[in-house]
Chain A
Amino acid sequence: MTGDSTATRAEVCVTAVVDAFRDDGEVLASAFGTIPAIGVRLARHLYAPDLMISDGESRLVGGTWAVGTRPEGDLEAWVPFRTIFDLVWHGSRHVMMIPSQLDVHGNMNLSAVGDYHKPKAQLLGVRGAPGNTVCHPTSYWVPRHSTRVFVPKVDMVSGVGHDRARAAGPGATRYHDLRVVVTDLAVLGFSAEGRVRVRSVHPGVTVDRVRENTGFPLDVPDDVPETRLPTVEETRLIREVLDPKGLRDREVSG
């Protein structure tokens, strides 16, 4: 199928999120950020009807609703935070988080930049990242692919990468499953050795540009495909149903 050539970069990013979740089956799809939120709802609407999606507070709801609005679908589960924690440790969840820093092994930092005991920049804290990454599939969303985010070594390992999981042993590796890193420039995955590897570059983006904006040596296959364009139906749903106000363009422009 040919894609919709009118698609914007933000819409290409949405479809990359769709493809990250479309084969997940009956799990909780937790997506942080506007484009991931659009992506999981679109994935469920078109391809993965069994996905379960939160209203952002404590309810899992059906239906397909626009970002920035309240859902109107059927309430199908009550999931206060303690139930979310149960689901995290049970493993029936795929999360897409926004890293402040990410390194070549997939270690991720949400906590603090600089010296831990007197940080240059205090961020949110580790949140659920340590547990998420050793208990269920984890993907990342990077709205601005840059050397600020993709660093040789993260300052505080909040989400666990491949090298650190291996070093910690089977307790950490048993359910460790880093999936995809979607950025505004490319889709990244991991090599067999667990190093960040380019899967595709978005239309109009060169591999060199991705390299220049990555602070560590990237694993690049000989032939790098282009990230697929959304279908005409996907762009219609994004523009008319999921994000009529264009909130996605505030996250990624162009």
Chain B
Amino acid sequence: MADKRMTEAEVISRLRSGMTVGIGGWGSRRKPMSLVRALLRSDVTDLTVVSYGGPDVGLLCAAGKVRKLVFGFVSLDSIALDPHFRAARQSGSIEVAEYDEGMLQWGLYAAALKLPFLPTRAGLGSDVMTYNPGLRTVADPYGGDELVAMPALRLDVALVHMNRADAAGNAQFLGPDPYFDDLYCLAAEQAFVSCEKVVPTAELTATAHPATLRINRMAVTGVVEAPGGAHFTSCTPDYERDEEFQREYVRAAGDPESWREFERRYLTGPESRWPIPNLEVPA
């Protein structure tokens, strides 16, 4: 099996401005934050971002990287709204394609299966149809209802964070929910998986059920070992959300001065360091 291990910087070196990037996780849960930070430090911009959004979206909006956001919500879970996403929307600085959560899954699934669209009731009658004027309905060829034809959301790149992976890209979730990370990977030309720990293949299922191996190596381009890589979002059972740091993020976003300080300390300053706490990740 090919050894696909690489660094965050190597992942980002394969990205180009203008690409469509899908980001796994959900809200403020298991987001590939170390990959997002590497993206913030790069020159790559003008991105279309597809996400069940959390602070990944907030940070990319704050850095001016987002041309268009494809989303169903943006939330920090324990804090309802992300301040940077709100600011970006309220200044009219980003384009959006807003879909029902299930439609977003359907779009990724259609792309994963190389189908042009998948039918659904979700969206009918709502302003999702109004504000996505390209969205079409389709007649049931068997004589039933007219349904929404949710178009495939094809991704140039997927960035996801898992609990464990092997060097070839077989990747495992150990928390309560796989979210949609496997669909992001299948929907993408290139998929990059960061994880808390890279382990020998046999170790993945030493104690865990094989059903936790949600992502298969044939869908993975690169693997990054990133202990604490989801911080400050949750990566259960390795660590929960760092609520205190999330509050600091939200407070800092409250005014430009404190946000510049936050960036200088944690993101883009020459001495910046993301404050990943000491995480005892079990073998």
- Contact pick for A170, options B74, B105, B127, B145, CB 8 Å: B145
A-facing mask of B65-90, CB < 8 A → 1, else 0? 00000011111000011000110011
Chain A residue with the shortest CB-CB distance to B105 = A85
The residue in B85, B120, B126 that gathers the most chain A C-beta atoms within 10 A of its C-beta is: B126
- Whether B89 and A159, one on each chain, are in contact in the complex, defined by CB atoms closer than 8 angstroms, is no
Q: Does A15 contact B (CB under 8 A)?
A: no
Residue A126 contacts which of B91, B98, B146 (CB distance < 8 angstroms)? B98
Q: Is the CB of B177 within 8 A of A121?
A: no
Instruction: Give the distance to chain B from A177, nearest Cβ to Cβ, in Å.
Output: 13
CB neighbors of A among B110-161 (8 A) = 120-128, 130-131, 137, 145-147
The residue from A116, A164, A170 contacting B126, defined by CB atoms under 8 A apart: A164
- Residues of B within 8 A of A (CB-CB), count: 42
* Contact among A82, A117, A158 for B180, CB-based, below 8 A: A82
A171 touches B146 (CB 8 A): yes
Determine the residue in chain A with the shortest Cβ distance to B234. Answer: A57
Query: What's the A-B contact tally at a CB cutoff of 8 Å?
Result: 137
Chain A residues, CB < 8 A from B127? 111, 116, 156-158
Name the interface residues of A131-146: CB closer than 8 Å to any CB of B.
131, 133-135
Measured CA separation A228–B58 after assembly (Å) = 45
How far is B132's CA from A227's CA once the two chains are assembled, in angstroms?
Answer: 42
Chain A, residue nearest B85 (CB): A122
CB pair B101 A127 closer than 8 Å? yes
Please tell me which one of the listed residues A116, A130, A165, A172 contacts residue B100 in the complex, with CB atoms under 8 A apart.
A130
Bound-complex Cα distance A174 to B124 (A) = 11
Q: How far is the CB of B199 from chain A (nearest CB, A)?
A: 23
Docked-complex contact A175 and B121, CB < 8 angstroms = yes
Structural contact, B89 and A131, CB atoms closer than 8 A: no
Q: Is the contact region of chain B dominated by helix, strand, or loop, or is it mixed?
A: mixed
Q: Is B26 an interface residue when CB atoms closer than 8 A count as contact?
A: yes
CA of A58 to CA of B234 in the docked complex: distance in angstroms? 14
User: Which chain B residue shows the least CB distance to A160?
Assistant: B125
- How far, in angstroms, from A206 to B71 measured CA to CA in the complex? 42
Q: Bound state CA distance, A111 and B101, in angstroms?
A: 12
A129 to B89 alpha-carbon distance, docked (Å): 20
CA distance A130 to B98 in the complex (A): 11
B178 sits at the interface (CB 8 A): yes
Q: A112-B89, A124-B81, A159-B126 are in contact. Are A171 and B100 (CB under 8 A)?
A: no
Question: Does B277 reach chain A (CB closer than 8 Å)?
Answer: no
A116-B131, A158-B127, A172-B125 known; A123 and B81 CB under 8 Å?
A: yes
B179 at the interface (CB under 8 A from A): yes
B92 contacts the other chain (Cβ, under 8 Å)? yes
The interface residues of chain B lying within 8 Å CB-to-CB of A82 are 105, 178, 180
B102 and A128 within 8 A (CB): yes
Contact B71 A125 (CB under 8 A): yes
A122-B81 contact in complex given A57-B176, A81-B180, A157-B127, C-beta closer than 8 Å: yes
Q: Known contacts A125-B73, A128-B102; is A158 also within 8 Å of B177 by CB?
A: no
Q: Could you list 25 examples of A-B contacts with CB < 8 Å?
A: A57-B176, A80-B179, A85-B101, A88-B102, A89-B102, A89-B122, A118-B90, A121-B86, A122-B81, A122-B90, A123-B81, A125-B75, A128-B72, A130-B124, A130-B125, A130-B128, A131-B120, A135-B122, A157-B125, A158-B126, A159-B126, A165-B125, A167-B125, A171-B121, A172-B124
Interface residues of B, Cβ cutoff 8 Å to A: 26, 53, 71-75, 80-81, 85-86, 89-92, 98-103, 105, 120-128, 130-131, 137, 145-147, 176-180
Which 8 interchain pairs have the tightest Cβ spacing?
Answer: A131-B122, A118-B92, A125-B73, A171-B145, A168-B125, A160-B125, A122-B89, A172-B124
